[in-house]
Structure 1
Amino acid sequence: MTDAFMLARIQFASNITFHILFPTISIALGWMLLFFKLRHNKTGDAKWAEAYQFWVKIFALTFALGVVSGITMSFQFGTNWPGFMETVGNIAGPLLAYEVLTAFFLEATFLGIMLFGAKRVSSRVHTLATLLVAGGTTLSAFWIIALNSWMHTPVGFEMIDGRAHATDWLAIIFNPSMPYRLTHMLIASGLTVAFLVAGISAYRWLRGDRTPSVMAALRSGVTVAALLIPVQILVGDMHGLNTLEHQPAKIAAMEGVWETERGAPLLLFAVPDEKERTNHFELGIPKVASIILKHDAEGEIKGLNDFGDKHPPVAPLFWGFRVMVGTGVLMLAVSWLCAWQLKRRGDVTPWTARALVAMSFSGWVATVAGWYVTEIGRQPYLVYGVLTTAEAVSSVPAPLIASTLAMYLALYAGLTIAYITVLFHLARKAGYGKPAQPLYPEPPAVGATGSLLGETRHA
């Protein structure tokens, strides 16, 4: 029977897995909506207004699910992991509070204007509301990533009577891994939204909806994906080098390196065996791991055996990393192929449109796989080198955790299916061949007030 410690870990993992799906979309979708908005303001072309009207509904749904799942996740700090706040609450508490005060309130305040104010406020105010909501989602990510990064590379504190006390808040916020994690996460969000927008638009295209707004959204998604994926590869390399410096055991597990060696191969396939501390059925490219990690064909990679039992589980990291990278390679191939077709033909073909539909949620796959690599790779620590996971767990009985875990899993599965179903329902419901509704009301034809509104509308 699974013990309470493992059940608590599984429960938190299921919660963070579900939660991260929605901020990953809302962060970048806010900026995509701002792009649609600015294009409409500049050109007056109705296709951008229609694209905005369609995708703002999806943003609202995504935002709501992200908030609900985030609240549930925060409760688990107290129920399942009281040792976390008892030990590092002086640092984690303020960072979480900053996220609520500076980011969530900003999003919540202007979201209503963004969703319902298009015909009640001026174009300038509505654009500003969209900008502030998009900025709020990014600011929220900033604070959460700052805390999470600090848990991986803790600095700027001292331990007094078993509790962490901040000595340098700037060092805590901008800890050694924070810039790399934040950049990597924001680009991952951009790629997730790019493929979602392109995939749903391709679905509408396949159903015969070839209106300008669909093509504008499809082209926008493909272009963003094609531009971001090479940048993500570069940032991922820099992030890997930073991880090698601060968490070498994680890198050893990701690469399946058991013994310290020079000229380590890049393993394309292997079956890690922690009991025997070896790999079976290895298939690799000689020296490439050393070239990637050390930028030297004979660079030395420290093996897992040098860390004793203070290293993370190997198989989840090994396979999670390959799922993330493999999905990224698919993203590169599909986005570049579609970008080439759009440039050459001005349109996609049915089979590339189907590929885009199949890749609609590829960003979720890559993000979850990467998040597993990041979080499991910190084990056995909750705060690296400071607090182990076992030290933070509560004494809640295993049967109670198991029952709530079962309810969580059932609820999350249902909500995820419902979310995806609603997205495609909205795509089917969006009529084609209908003129887009104006994003703003027409100003009155006469009177000083009408003149003023007209000037504001075209500002």
Structure 2
Amino acid sequence: MSSLLNDALLLSRIQFAANITFHILFPALSIGLAWMLLYFKIRSDRDGGAAWMDAYRFWVKVFALTFAIGVVTGVTMSFQFGTNWPGYMETVGNIAGPLLAYEVLTAFFLEATFLGVMLFGTGRVSKGVQTMATFLVALGTTLSAFWILALSSWMQTPAGFEMIDGRAHVTSWLAVLFTPSFPYRFTHMLMACGLTTAFLIAGISAWRWRRGDRGGDVRVALGSAVWVAALLIPLQIVVGDLHGLNTLEHQPAKVAAMEGLWETQRGVPAVLFALPDEATRSNRMEISIPKLASFYLKHSFDAEVQGLNDFPNSHPPVMQVFWAFRIMVGVGLLMLVVSWASLLRLRRYGELGPKTSRALVLMTFSGWVALVSGWYVTEIGRQPWLVQGVLRTADAVTKVPPERIGLTLAMYLILYAVLLVAFVSTLFYLAHKAGADVNGKRMNPVADPYRANEIHAREHKHV
């Protein structure tokens, strides 16, 4: 414990990991929710039914909450580049700085500007204007992901630059933006956002369903979310495979850590379970399927795959990457089973059964688990490099005393724990309140801006 508290590098890495872990939960939901809200709004405009608009009204409140928390934690992330990792901006600031600025200028302002119209536009602006505002917010969330993932991909597979006096200078912005890994990473992340949102909506809707709230808004939200999840998860598996092949080409050490592969060999087995031991450079308690890893990595049972021993001083921590990858894959397979079982149940009977509704409730936050696990594979798997082949993590860390980093880390962890509990509690409170309103409790128009706006517009029209 004392060695940990005296290690500025390790403490800075843990602090950044804590911040990114908490932060990424909310932009992922914002991206997926924005597009789902657009779908709800278009269906409401086209069909004219109250159910779609009620679903829109409920989930736009959740979107506003996720957006607010995402903004605050994003600011914290930006500060850390200067406080914890000054060597990063000194070395690659000419690339990272503009990309982060573009994210704020083209994405954040777009989202923030039109969010108010989404929240309070009912009865004040036309349906078309509110729908357009929803589209622009959804576009803003996706642009935000574009710029951030362009930077992340450049750090994984840097291109389009040259080093002059120890600093990176851009030679081609197109090459910087569209690195070899960017198309796979961007697509994989957007689908992850969609799945995270789909299971959140399905889980909360199933929770309301089990409590007797069988209103139209619950039905349309539940059905839409299950359909989205069932469609996206097979596509995500295909994209994930392509992403893995791209990673094998450009970052073979990361793939070796994911597979728990120490020696370069042919006919590599797929390790289902093991405890990787870096001291002995071997796997303890290994359970594997012969030759399967060679098949899905290189589509040949006898293909050769490089092992970790080919990268003695530049491979990532094996245990963390190995198990993060298996958690991501395991949760993905659960998503496939639950989404398809729920879809078949809805298609056959028109409603959920006790088992499928319970499964969806249990899977409410499964997208977060898979998302964070996948992010760990990506980011820890890049170690010991901060920018692959350009800047080592140890060369960019701060000179701030470790005890100060430890103090701020403890403060962050406490704050994030409180915020996470508050977010989840508020989410279920909103769901409970929506169910109570639907089940006969008279809604106070003044307390609900949507109903108040509708009533105001209706009275104005009669006048």
Q: Place the TM-score, normalised by the shorter chain, in its bin.
A: over 0.9
Aligned to 2:446: none
- The answer to whether structure 1 residue 332 and structure 2 residue 336 are counterparts is yes
Please point out which of 68, 73, 79 is paired with 1:75: 79
Secondary structure of the 1:280 match is strand
- The answer to whether structure 1 residue 408 and structure 2 residue 412 are counterparts is yes
Q: How many Å apart are 1:186 and its aligned residue?
A: 0.2
Q: After TM superposition, list the pairs within 5 Å mapping 1:25-44 onto structure 2.
A: 25-44=29-48
Please point out which of 106, 109, 112 is paired with 1:108: 112
- d(CA) in 2 for partners of 1:56 and 1:444? 25
Aligned to 2:229: 225
- The answer to whether structure 1 residue 154 and structure 2 residue 173 are counterparts is no
Aligned to 2:282: 278
Aligned to 2:96: 92
- d(CA) in 2 for partners of 1:445 and 1:95? 48
Q: How many Å apart are 1:428 and its aligned residue?
A: 0.8
Secondary structure of the 2:302 match is coil
Any idea what the Cα deviations from partners look like across 1:25-58, whole Å, max 9, x if unmatched? 0001000000000000000000001001100000
Q: How many Å apart are 1:119 and its aligned residue?
A: 1.8
Aligned to 1:456: none
Secondary structure of the 2:261 match is coil
- d(CA) in 2 for partners of 1:239 and 1:102? 27
Aligned to 2:140: 136
Any idea what the Cα deviations from partners look like across 1:51-83, whole Å, max 9, x if unmatched? 011000000000000000000011000000000
Secondary structure of the 1:268 match is strand
Q: How many Å apart are 1:350 and its aligned residue?
A: 1.5
Q: After TM superposition, list the pairs within 5 Å mapping 1:357-396 onto structure 2.
A: 357-396=361-400
Q: After TM superposition, list the pairs within 5 Å mapping 1:409-424 onto structure 2.
A: 409-424=413-428
Any idea what the Cα deviations from partners look like across 1:188-219, whole Å, max 9, x if unmatched? 00000000000000000011000111011111
Q: TM-score, normalised by structure 2?
A: 0.95
- d(CA) in 2 for partners of 1:445 and 1:20? 44
- d(CA) in 1 for partners of 2:388 and 2:419? 33
Unaligned runs of at least 5 residues, structure 1: 448-459
- d(CA) in 2 for partners of 1:121 and 1:216? 25
Aligned to 1:455: none
Q: TM-score, normalised by structure 1?
A: 0.96
Aligned to 2:447: none
Aligned to 1:256: 260
Secondary structure of the 2:416 match is helix
The residue type equivalent to 1:141 in the other structure is A
The CA RMSD over aligned residues, in Å, is: 1.3
The residue type equivalent to 1:418 in the other structure is A
Please point out which of 283, 293, 297 is paired with 1:293: 297
Count of paired positions: 447
- The answer to whether structure 1 residue 206 and structure 2 residue 203 are counterparts is no
- d(CA) in 2 for partners of 1:146 and 1:442? 47
Q: How many Å apart are 1:442 and its aligned residue?
A: 3.6
Secondary structure of the 1:23 match is helix
Secondary structure of the 2:124 match is coil
Q: Which 4+ stretches in 1 moved above 3 angstroms?
A: 433-447
- d(CA) in 2 for partners of 1:272 and 1:266? 14
Q: How many Å apart are 1:433 and its aligned residue?
A: 3.3
Secondary structure of the 1:11 match is helix
Q: How many Å apart are 1:363 and its aligned residue?
A: 0.2
Secondary structure of the 1:399 match is helix
- The answer to whether structure 1 residue 268 and structure 2 residue 272 are counterparts is yes
Q: Taking every aligned residue pair, what percent have the same amino acid on both sides?
A: 66
